[in-house]
């Protein structure tokens, strides 16, 4: 080939390659870089903003044992406004429901789209075809639509398995307004262990949506709320930051792309001072009593190593919501499983003997001996010792160590009378009785200290602490 023809071929080849390169660059620019821009220009397309709840943080014991965590679960939800819109686009007429409204003070009959009939005609048959249909509460769905429209998703199914998720994903584009969402669900791995400390959650109230959120989101899911225990007191720390998903839909309601996605954040991890092993042992010991409470402290730091109250409850029963039967069973139980006896005002019994001993030691009575004859007489009232009530016996002369060891009532009755109510109250207040400890649990009751200022002014105004009351 002559040189001039060879140059011409090379030149044409270079032009072709350059043209291909320019074409590829333009294709990349249109199909990749500016894809979202052009999708927004598709006739009838629009953006839907979806709010997703944050992921709740874990709760652990002092050694990192996880006491409250989250497991991944799947649920099927309906955006009823999208289902209604898609049905209207495909049908000239729609089923209606006659409703009565008050207009200008007068009742008026009005025909409205029957969302239940629309769902039953357009969604349920196809779900049955795929073997995915389930029974649902039609009245609840209708009320939900009238109240929330498409803002709050209607939960159709929860806890679906992997095979169901795969089938929904395969046929999802054929069902506008039907979504399968992966959501974190609270889980307490050890059941009732430390339930009074951990507390439980309540599902978010669908009527409690902030007004700014109503204006911003077309699809809203709220955060569960802690209503007892650490779940309640640490709620603002445990809650994760909300996620926001912006989806592009065509005029038929089908998702054709995603414009933006901010993933939900994970809340703070809360570490308790308790030791799960000690907690387990204490609870099992208390179950022998049937109804009891105990607190184990590190005397050097004041940290709570275990706090147990029996009977207790399983916080897993509140996830996603407690059944009426379970809740009624708990509420009607005469032993009050929801009551944390460790922080609730209850008659203390013989535990009051220890602060009495401390008050006596502070005031120089620790070396005194008192004689137990089985009871102490106060007028017509007799305060008996347990050994007298059980066997008719007595402990004889005791020092303070022997009185504590034998839990002798008459010894501490006599010490209390020797101290007098003012010194008794001072000693009791010194060890914190009648005051809140500040433990980060809701509804801690400081209790009532008889003979104190609060008692004499608010509880028993004008009452006098007699020798018998002081002894008791």
Tell the burial category of 120 from Cβ atoms under 10 Å away from its Cβ (0-12, 13-18, 19+).
middle
Q: Is residue 132 predicted with pLDDT exceeding 90?
A: no
In this prediction, what percent of the chain has a pLDDT beyond 70?
87
Q: What pLDDT is attached to residue 451? A: 92
Same structural domain, 133 and 219: yes
Q: What pLDDT is attached to residue 354? A: 95
Could you report the per-residue pLDDT of 270-284, keeping only the tens digit for each?
Answer: 999 999 999 999 999
Contacts with 12 (C-beta within 8 Å, 6 or more apart), sequence order? none
Could you report the per-residue pLDDT of 72-88, keeping only the tens digit for each?
Answer: 888 889 999 989 988 88
The domain spanning residue 416 has which CATH number? 3.40.710.10
Same structural domain, 171 and 52: yes
Domain membership flag for residue 82? yes
The domain spanning residue 183 has which CATH number? 3.90.1310.10
Six-digit token pair at 360? Answer: 């006596």
Could you report the per-residue pLDDT of 438-465, keeping only the tens digit for each?
Answer: 999 998 998 889 999 989 888 889 888 9
Same structural domain, 255 and 356: no
Domain membership flag for residue 62? yes
Domain membership flag for residue 327? no
Contacts with 366 (C-beta within 8 Å, 6 or more apart), sequence order? 357, 360, 400
| Nearest partner of 326 among 311, 335, 315, 334, judged by Cα | 315
Neighbours of 139 (CB within 10 A): 9
Contacts with 298 (C-beta within 8 Å, 6 or more apart), sequence order? 273, 305
For the ranges 94-98, 134-138, 413-417, which has the lowest average pLDDT?
94-98
Question: What is the domain extent for residue 440?
Answer: 349-471
pLDDT-derived band at 179 (thresholds 50, 70, 90) equals confident
pTM for the whole thing? 0.76
Domain membership flag for residue 14? no
Q: Is residue 181 predicted with pLDDT exceeding 90?
A: no
For the ranges 165-179, 240-254, 255-269, 455-469, which has the lowest average pLDDT?
165-179
Q: From CA 232, how far away is CA 318, in angstroms rounded?
A: 14
Q: What pLDDT is attached to residue 369? A: 96
Q: What pLDDT is attached to residue 462? A: 83
């Amino acid at each position: 080939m002559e040189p001039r023809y060879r140059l011409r071929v090379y030149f044409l080849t270079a032009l072709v390659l350059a043209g291909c390169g320019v074409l590829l660059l333009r294709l990349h620019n249109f199909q990749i870089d500016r894809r979202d821009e052009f999708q927004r220009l598709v006739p009838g397309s629009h953006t839907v903003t979806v709010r997703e709840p944050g992921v709740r943080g874990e709760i652990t014991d002092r050694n990192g044992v996880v006491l409250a965590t989250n497991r991944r679960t799947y649920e099927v939800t309906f955006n009823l406004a999208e289902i209604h819109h898609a049905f209207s686009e495909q049908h000239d007429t729609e089923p209606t429901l006659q409703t009565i409204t008050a207009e200008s003070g007068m009742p008026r009959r009005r025909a409205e789209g029957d969302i239940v009939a629309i769902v039953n005609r357009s969604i349920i048959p196809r779900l049955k075809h795929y073997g995915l249909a389930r029974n649902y509460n039609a009245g609840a769905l209708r009320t939900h639509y009238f109240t929330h429209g498409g803002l709050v998703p209607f939960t159709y199914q929860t806890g679906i398995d992997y095979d169901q998720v795969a089938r929904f994903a395969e046929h999802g584009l054929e069902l506008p307004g039907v979504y399968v969402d992966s959501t974190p669900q609270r889980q307490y791995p050890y059941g009732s262990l430390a339930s009074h400390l951990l507390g439980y959650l309540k599902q978010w109230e669908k009527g409690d949506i902030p007004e700014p959120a109503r204006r911003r989101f077309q699809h809203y899911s709220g955060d569960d709320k802690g209503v007892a225990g650490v779940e309640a007191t640490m709620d603002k720390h445990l809650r994760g930051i909300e996620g926001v998903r912006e989806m592009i839909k065509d005029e038929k309601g089908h998702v054709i792309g995603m414009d933006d996605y901010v993933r939900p954040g994970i809340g703070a991890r809360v570490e308790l001072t308790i030791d799960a092993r000690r907690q387990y042992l204490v609870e099992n010991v208390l179950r022998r009593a049937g109804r009891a409470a105990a607190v184990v402290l590190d005397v050097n730091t004041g940290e709570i190593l275990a706090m147990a109250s029996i009977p207790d409850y399983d916080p897993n029963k509140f996830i996603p919501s407690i059944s009426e039967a379970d809740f009624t069973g708990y509420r009607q139980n005469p032993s009050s499983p929801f009551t944390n006896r460790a922080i609730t005002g209850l008659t203390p019994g013989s535990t009051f003997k220890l602060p009495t001993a401390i008050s006596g030691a502070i005031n120089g009575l620790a070396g005194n001996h008192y004689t137990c004859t089985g009871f102490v007489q106060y007028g017509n009232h007799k305060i008996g010792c347990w050994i007298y009530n059980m066997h008719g016996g007595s402990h004889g002369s005791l020092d303070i160590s022997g009185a504590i060891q034998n839990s002798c009532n008459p010894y501490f009755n006599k010490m209390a009378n020797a101290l007098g109510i003012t010194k008794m109250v001072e000693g009791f207040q010194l060890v914190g009785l009648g005051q809140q400890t500040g433990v980060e649990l809701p509804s801690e009751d400081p209790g009532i200290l008889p003979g104190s200022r609060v008692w004499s002014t608010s509880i028993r105004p004008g009452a006098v602490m007699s020798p018998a009351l002081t002894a008791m």
